[in-house]
Amino acid sequence: MSILNWNEMASNEGLIIFCLIFAVFRIYLEIIGFDFNSLPITKALGNRSGDDRLIRFHRMGLYFSVGYIVFFAPGILFS
């Protein structure tokens, strides 16, 4: 399979639905106000790189989750 053969990659609906569930869960955590800085790995990395950089890292995860839902949910819902 190559990257140019996108029909085979797009036909894996199970993986897309699995990733959509995780994206919705990520947005849910943001809505309820979950503190991502309290996670053990984030605490360990916070000692090295600073809290501001980790806040931006987790914010980028939110943007990726929203983008994934915007681009992939319509294909699943309307197929």
User: Helix %, strand %, coil % for the chain, to 5?
Assistant: 80, 0, 20
- Residues 18-74: tens digit of each pLDDT: 999 999 999 999 999 999 888 888 888 877 877 788 888 899 999 999 999 999 888
What pLDDT shows up at residue 43?
A: 83
d(C-alpha 26, C-alpha 60), whole Å? 11
pTM, full prediction: 0.75
CB 58 within 8 A of CB 41: no
